[in-house]
């Protein structure tokens, strides 16, 4: 079963509702499916296509462009070691070598127990804290080989609080309470000038606080 669960269908519909064009939700929904299943499955892509009025081919066409989407099973923990220049200068490649030996897989491989997938990745924006890595997109800065081994041991022995399983990105979602949103603005809808712009143009009056006779504001 890799279609969205009922709870995730509700989440997906809320995400879709924040875009003027449904297709814009493709990347967030692919993430959501990866959060549910650990990787992106064919059924999930079919379901996303249904929800966004696109075709499964379009979903895969978009998804396959992006490195974070995995179309085959990967480890519970994705260990991404940065080897770009700033990290290379301070031991990123040595850290990757150590990781390969320690986990017993080459970069790109998954350990036999399905716990870890190792990748060498491009710059992850922690350049002053080299060498750095991410596990399921949670950072570890200035990491030594000993610290690496300890981290792997901790993950094997029940995990670490700040690292969810692969696929889960932000654990806090944006929610817009009913009645609080300004509303999405679809492009095709012929639109008037926004009221605050029009008011200022018409009255030539600086408009700080609303009120006035237009009835908006509270």
Partner 1 sequence: MPTHTYVPHAPGYVDNDGPKIVTSRFPHEDSYTLERSEATGGYDGLRAALAKKPSEVHDEVREATVLGRGGAGFPAGVKWGFMPPGKFPYYLVVNGDESEPGTYKDRLLMERDPHQLIEGCLITCYALGLAQCFLYVRGEMALAQERIAQALNDAYANGYVGKNILGTDFSVDITLTWGAGAYIVGEETALIESLEGNRGMPRLKPPYFPAAIGLYGQPTIVNNVETLANLPWLMLNGPSQYKTYGSDDSPGTRMVAVSGHLNRPGVYEIEQGVTTFRDLFYGDNFCQGIRDGHELKMFVPGGGSAPWFFPEQVDLPLEARPVGAAGSMLGSGAIMVMDETTDAVKAALRLVRFYARESCGKCTPCREGTTWEERVLQRILDGEGRPSDIDMLLDIADNISPGPYPNAAYPDEGLEAIPFPPKQTTICPLGPSSVAPITSTIRRFRHEYEAKITKRDSIPVTAAPVEGES
34 close to 47: Cβ distance less than 8 angstroms: no
Site for partner 1 in 68-127 (CB under 8 A): 68-69, 80, 83-86, 88-90, 122-127
**Radius of gyration from C-alpha coordinates of the chain:** 23
Q: Is residue 131 reached through a cis peptide bond, with omega within 30 degrees of 0 on the bond before it?
A: yes
Verify binding: residue 50, partner 1, rule CB under 8 A: no
User: Which stretch in 4-12, 61-69, 109-117, 153-161 sits in contact with partner 1 by CB under 8 A?
Assistant: 61-69
Is 13 strand, coil or helix? helix
**217 forms part of the interface with partner 1 (CB under 8 A):** yes
Residues 151-170 that bind partner 1 (CB under 8 A): 169-170
Is the separation of the CB atoms in 15 and 32 below 8 Å? Answer: yes
> Is 23 a residue that touches partner 1 (CB under 8 A)?
yes
Candidate segments 5-13, 55-63, 100-108, 146-154, binder of partner 1 by CB under 8 A? 55-63
Q: Which stretch binds partner 1 (CB under 8 A): 2-10, 94-102, 107-115, 203-211?
A: 203-211
Tell me if 183 contacts partner 1 by CB under 8 A.
yes
Q: What are the angstrom distances between the C-alpha of 96 and each of 123, 127, 165?
A: 14, 16, 21
Min dist CB 54 to partner 1, Å, is: 7
Are the C-beta atoms of 132 and 85 separated by less than 8 Å?
no
């Amino acid at each position: 079963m890799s279609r969205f669960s009922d709870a995730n269908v509700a989440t997906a519909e809320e995400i879709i509702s924040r875009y003027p064009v449904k297709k814009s939700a493709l990347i967030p929904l692919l993430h959501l499916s990866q959060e549910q299943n650990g990787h992106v499955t064919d059924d999930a892509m079919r379901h996303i296509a249904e929800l966004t009025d696109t075709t499964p081919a379009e979903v895969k066409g978009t998804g396959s462009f992006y490195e974070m989407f995995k179309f085959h099973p990967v480890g519970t923990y994705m260990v991404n070691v940065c080897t770009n220049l700033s990290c290379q200068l301070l031991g990123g490649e040595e850290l990757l070598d150590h990781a390969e030996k320690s986990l017993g897989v080459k970069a790109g491989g998954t350990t036999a127990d399905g716990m870890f997938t190792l990748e060498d990745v491009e710059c992850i924006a922690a350049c002053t804290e080299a060498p750095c890595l991410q596990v399921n997109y949670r950072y570890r800065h200035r990491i030594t080989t000993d610290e690496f081994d300890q981290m792997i041991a901790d993950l094997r022995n029940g995990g670490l609080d700040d690292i969810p399983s692969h696929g889960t990105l932000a654990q806090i979602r944006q929610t817009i309470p009913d009645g609080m949103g300004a509303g999405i603005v679809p492009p095709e809808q012929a639109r008037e000038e926004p009221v605050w712009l029009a008011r200022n143009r018409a009255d030539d009056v600086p408009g700080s606080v609303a009120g006035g006779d237009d009835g908006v504001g509270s």
